[in-house]
């Protein structure tokens, strides 16, 4: 038994530890930009949040583990149209999957591309209104979606990761100014993930997929710790050795040797270009890359100077609204970038257009939303990295056209629908039921694929060749086309494919309007239905109704468990080997893309910026439903 003196001391220590543990780490302004906009604009003298020594919060999210090169699982998912299975293999460039998979129902897909991780740092404040927290999460979600669409694996770090770094205690004891501390924690968290790319959550990719900066970042070779000229602390990259090397120098930084004497000098580094860590290090320690226009960084300075409507709303009483306006602004710039990258607009491939109006309805819905001008608080504004953009307006909004075949140019973005051969035969020959003798006597083989590629590939090529070209198109990266199948693609999937939220609301008049009198947001009218393919008689509504019935019948037949119907579907598939393969490939490809994302979302569910955390997800879109 220790002497009573020590017992008392132990008790005091225990109470102190418990208090800290239960209250968690101190609040930290870790997304300085949102806060400081409000500060800069409205409340220039807001006091800094005081700094207490922090201890790990046992109730917070667990820390991310450093990355492990992910295995590429072969997989299956259940589907209404039977089991959907795929194998992943470098030998995927094979017209017929079954020659490798030895199974009619397993598609052979190209290997998943490796997604290099990109990190951002976000540590939610303890005392924060729910709406503000959700709005911040929606911004982080926008960041994750945009980088995901560009082929990265976006990871949101928090203080948890910093706590796992060996230097954590050291910096912890320094009693740093809160802004300096946040920056240090950001670097520690990043170093704990073994380096890579560290981005501010308001730094988003806004460029073509092949943009040199983005391509460079995807290569994952950054031996030298660097940042980018003009992007402040928007983005850093460096491998583990480079980042750890910088932290070692930081520990030995002369200013940090005498905290009391240098207090003001240290605090001042946070406001300088690049942030505290950069300015505590020597300029030679971090290289400056000049060649980068692919990343848009909405820094405090940029928001206050270029996006006044948003800055004005970021007051402490309307902060949630301000953050949502910022989300809309960022989203509109991402959407605008997509539109500018496809100067000819949207194309819908509609082979055999006579009786396929209902079949391509989902494509038209998506394409109309993609050509609509994005909702924005400042529709005439340009992204920070492309001040000379051409904003979208009702007069120059992108074109939307139907073509009876695939038009092979990347100036269009093409949306296509890949039908099952049973469906296309039933629609094209306007027959409610197909049978074997009809197929033999009347039906052309591989009608859909041959028609789709008749111009872009020309005559004299085999079905196998067309099939391979089609597979290349579906799996192309960068993708300039989207192929829908009977497998429904949900809106969530689309948002992650394109990297921005597709508009779900439109102005009710032919002019841009605001959803409500108070709202700063401006929504645009929905583009009209595209003109039908030239030379095609527009079917009466009676016909489209019949067509819909036929489409549903065909879907039922493909799903049917009835042996007789299954026999017919099999016969149709045998008669149309290439069309069947195209359908299987396209739907396996999109199912795998969806599984990859869902799995990632599940893993990230507990961290900031997940779809779950931004739970008002529907809500901010609801807010501009008219
Ligand atoms: C996927 O299947 C192929 C062929 O069966 C096999 O070689 C490969 O190892 C499998 N990959 C995984 C991750 O299971
Ligand atoms: C820190 O600086 C102050 C003022 O210059 C000085 O009095 C003090 O001795 C210094 N402390 C150390 C540990 O160098
Ligand atoms: C907003 O800031 C002002 C001035 O600093 C302060 O008086 C007010 O209480 C703040 N309001 C809220 C809701 O925090
Ligand atoms: C598109 O054009 C490229 C280059 O000319 C060609 O290699 C490819 O086969 C074409 N693809 C299709 C589907 O027409
Ligand atoms: C397209 O926008 C309309 C409303 O304008 C909406 O009902 C529909 O869900 C949107 N579709 C997609 C795929 O975003």
Do residues 225 and 368 share a domain? no
Ligand closest to the CA atom of residue 315: 3
Ligand 1 atom nearest 89 alpha carbon? 3
Residue 507 inside a domain? The answer is yes
Measured CA to CA, the distance from residue 466 to residue 603 in angstroms comes to 39
Between 463-475 and 577-604, two packed helices, what is the crossing angle to 10 degrees? 20
Q: Does 469 contact ligand 4 (Cβ within 6 A)?
A: yes
Least confident of 29-43, 92-106, 302-316: 29-43
**φ/ψ of residue 67, rounded to 5:** -65, 150
Give the mean model confidence (pLDDT) for residues 90-107.
84
CA 460 / ligand 4 centre spacing (Å): 15
Distance, CA 317 to ligand 3 centroid (Å)?
7
Q: Tell me, using a 6 A CB cutoff, whether residue 258 lines ligand 2.
A: yes
CA of 186 relative to ligand 3 center, distance in Å: 28
> Cα dihedral sign for 452, 455, 456, 462?
positive
- The confidence score (pLDDT) of residue 76 equals 76
**Same domain membership, residue 220 and residue 174:** yes
Distance 453 CA to ligand 4 centre (A): 9
Q: Is the CB of 410 under 6 A from ligand 4?
A: no
Same domain, residue pair 416 and 518 = yes
- The predicted pLDDT at position 3 comes to 58
Give the domain extent around 201: 117-297
Average pLDDT of the segment spanning 396-423: 95
- pLDDT digit string (tens) for 461-485? 999 999 999 999 999 989 999 999 8
Confidence at 189, pLDDT banded by 50, 70, 90: very high
How many CB atoms sit inside 10 A of residue 534's CB? 10
CA of residue 308 to ligand 5 center, whole Å: 29
Query: Which position has the higher pLDDT, 559 or 331?
Result: 331
Neighbour-count burial of 27, counting CB atoms closer than 10 A to its CB (0-12 exposed, 13-18 middle, 19+ buried): middle
Query: Is 108 a pocket residue for ligand 1 (Cβ < 6 Å)?
Result: no
pLDDT band at 329 (very low <50, low <70, confident <90, very high): very high
Q: Does 392 map to a domain?
A: yes
Residue nearest to atom 5 of ligand 1 (CA): 87
Q: Tell me whether residue 40 is in a domain.
A: no
Distance in angstroms (rounded) separating the CA atoms of residues 378 and 145: 22
348: tokens are 């819908």
538 lies in some domain: yes
From the alpha carbon of 73, which atom of ligand 1 is closest?
13
Does 473 sit in the ligand 4 pocket, CB within 6 Å? yes
Same domain flag for 289 and 326: no
- pTM for this model (two decimals): 0.87
Tell me what the mean pLDDT of segment 548-561 comes to. Answer: 91
Looking at the structure, tell me whether residues 199 and 338 fall in a common domain: no
Residue 164 in contact with residue 62, Cβ under 8 Å?
A: no
Split at pLDDT 50, 70, 90, the class of 4 is low
180 and 251 share a domain?
yes
Q: Number of C-alpha atoms within 13 angstroms, CB side, residue 619? A: 14
Do 487 and 410 fall into the same domain?
Answer: yes
Is there a single domain that holds both residue 357 and residue 292?
A: no
C-alpha 323 chain-centroid distance? 19
Does 379 share its domain with 491?
yes
Percent of the chain with pLDDT over 90: 62
* Residue 267 sits in the same domain as residue 327: no
Mutate to test the pocket of ligand 4, among 95, 408, 453, 483 (most ligand atoms within 8 A of CB): 408
Q: How far is residue 341's CA from residue 333's CA, in Å, rounded to a whole number?
A: 12
* Burial of 16 from C-beta contacts in 10 A (0-12 / 13-18 / 19+): exposed
Q: Is residue 483 domain-shared with residue 565, that is, in the same domain?
A: yes
Q: What is the pLDDT of residue 487?
A: 58
Q: How close is the Cα of 95 to the center of ligand 5, in Å? A: 35
Q: How confident is the model at residue 159 (pLDDT cuts 50, 70, 90)?
A: very high
In the sheet that holds 84-88, the strands lie side by side as: 75-77, 84-88, 106-109
Burial class (CB in 10 A: 0-12, 13-18, 19+), 417: buried
Whether 442 lines ligand 3, by a CB cut-off of 6 Å, is no
Protein residue whose Cα sits closest to atom 3 of ligand 2:
261
Residue 362 in domain: yes
Indicate whether 497 belongs to any domain. yes
pLDDT digits (tens, 9 = 90+) for 279-296: 999 989 999 998 779 999
Do 404 and 459 fall within a single domain?
A: yes
For residue 505, give the ligand 5 atom closest to its CA: 5
**Radius of gyration for the chain, computed over Cα atoms and rounded to the nearest angstrom:** 28
| Ligand closest to the CA atom of residue 257 | 2
In this structure, of 125-134, 153-162, 399-408, 580-589, the range with the lowest mean pLDDT score is 125-134
Q: Which residue has the higher pLDDT, 206 or 489?
A: 206
Q: What is the 3-state secondary structure (H, E, C) of 166-228?
A: CCHHHHHCCCCCHHHHHHHHHHHHHHHCCEEEEECCCEEECCCCCCHHHHHHHCCCCCCCEEE
54 found inside a domain: no
Residue 410 vs residues 280, 396, 416, 473: alpha-carbon distances, Å: 46, 20, 14, 11
CA of 286 to the centre of ligand 5 (A): 46
Residue 74 Cβ < 6 Å to ligand 1: yes
Determine if ligand 1 sits within 6 Å of the CB of residue 284: no
Rounded-to-integer distance, Cα 353 and Cα 332, Å = 33
Q: Is 73 in the pocket of ligand 1 (CB under 6 A)?
A: yes
Q: Is the CB of 456 under 6 A from ligand 4?
A: yes
Question: Residues 511, 526: contact at Cβ < 8 Å?
Answer: no
Q: Which ligand is nearest to the CA of 259?
A: 2
Secondary structure of the chain: what % helix, strand, coil (to 5)?
45, 10, 45
pLDDT beyond 80 at 38: no
β-pair type (412-417, 345-349) = parallel
Please name the residue that has the structure tokens 């108070």.
518
User: Cα(573) to centroid of ligand 5, in Å?
Assistant: 33
| Domain count across the chain | 2
Please check whether residue 168 lies inside any domain of the structure.
yes
């Amino acid at each position: 038994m220790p002497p009573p003196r020590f017992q008392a001391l132990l008790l005091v220590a225990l109470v102190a530890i418990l208090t800290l543990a239960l209250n968690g780490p101190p609040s930290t302004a870790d997304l300085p930009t949102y806060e400081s906009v409000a500060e800069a604009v409205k409340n220039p003298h807001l006091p800094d949040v005081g700094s207490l020594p922090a201890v790990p919060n046992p109730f917070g999210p667990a820390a991310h583990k450093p990355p492990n090169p992910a295995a590429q699982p072969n997989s299956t998912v259940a589907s209404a149209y039977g089991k959907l299975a795929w194998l992943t293999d470098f030998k995927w460039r094979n017209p017929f999957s079954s020659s490798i998979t030895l199974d009619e129902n397993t598609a052979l897909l190209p290997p998943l591309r490796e997604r290099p991780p990109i990190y951002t740092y976000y540590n939610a404040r303890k005392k924060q209104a729910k709406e503000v927290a959700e709005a911040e999460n929606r911004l982080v979600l926008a960041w994750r979606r945009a980088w995901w669409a560009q082929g990265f694996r976006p990871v949101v770090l928090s203080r948890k990761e910093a706590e796992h770094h060996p230097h954590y205690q050291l910096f912890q004891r320094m009693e740093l100014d809160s802004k300096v501390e946040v920056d240090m924690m950001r670097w520690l968290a990043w170093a704990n993930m073994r380096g890579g790319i560290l981005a501010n959550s308001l730094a988003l990719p806004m460029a073509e997929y092949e943009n040199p900066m983005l391509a460079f970042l995807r290569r994952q070779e950054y031996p030298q710790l660097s940042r980018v000229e003009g992007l402040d602390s928007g983005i850093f990259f460096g491998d583990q050795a480079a980042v750890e090397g910088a932290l070692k120098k930081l520990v030995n930084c002369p200013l940090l040797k005498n905290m009391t004497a240098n207090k003001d000098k240290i605090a001042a580094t946070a406001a300088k270009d690049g942030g505290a860590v950069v300015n505590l290090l020597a300029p030679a320690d971090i290289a400056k890359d000049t060649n980068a226009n692919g990343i848009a960084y909405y820094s405090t300075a940029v928001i206050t100077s270029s996006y006044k409507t948003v800055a004005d709303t970021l007051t402490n009483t309307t902060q949630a609204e301000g953050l949502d306006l910022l989300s809309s602004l960022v989203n509109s710039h991402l959407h605008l970038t997509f539109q500018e990258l496809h100067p000819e607009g949207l194309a819908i491939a509609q082979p055999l257009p006579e009786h396929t109006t209902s079949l391509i309805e989902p494509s038209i819905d998506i394409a109309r939303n993609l050509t609509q001008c994005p909702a924005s608080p400042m529709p005439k504004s340009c992204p920070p990295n492309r001040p000379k953009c051409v904003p979208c307006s009702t007069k120059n909004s992108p074109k939307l056209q139907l073509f009876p075949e695939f038009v092979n140019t990347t100036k269009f973005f093409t949306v296509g629908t890949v039908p099952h051969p049973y469906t296309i035969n039933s629609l094209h020959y306007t027959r409610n039921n197909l049978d074997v003798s009809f197929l033999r006597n009347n039906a052309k083989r591989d009608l859909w694929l041959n028609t789709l590629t008749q111009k872009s590939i020309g005559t004299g090529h085999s079905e196998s060749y067309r099939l391979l070209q089609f597979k290349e198109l579906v799996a192309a990266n960068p993708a300039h086309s989207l192929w829908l199948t009977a497998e429904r693609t949900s809106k969530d999937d689309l948002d992650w494919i394109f990297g921005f939220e597709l508009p779900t609301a439109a102005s009710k008049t032919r002019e841009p309007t605001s959803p409500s009198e108070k709202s700063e947001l401006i929504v645009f009218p929905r583009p009209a239905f595209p003109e039908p393919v030239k030379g095609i008689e527009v079917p009466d509504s009676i016909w489209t109704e019949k067509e819909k019935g036929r489409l549903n019948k065909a879907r039922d037949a493909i799903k049917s468990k009835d042996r007789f119907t299954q026999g017919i579907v099999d016969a149709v598939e045998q008669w149309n080997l290439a069309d069947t393969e195209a359908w299987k490939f396209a739907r396996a490809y999109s199912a795998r893309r969806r599984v990859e994302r869902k799995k990632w979302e599940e893993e990230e569910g507990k961290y900031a910026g997940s779809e779950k955390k931004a739970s008002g997800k529907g809500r901010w879109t609801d807010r501009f439903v008219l």
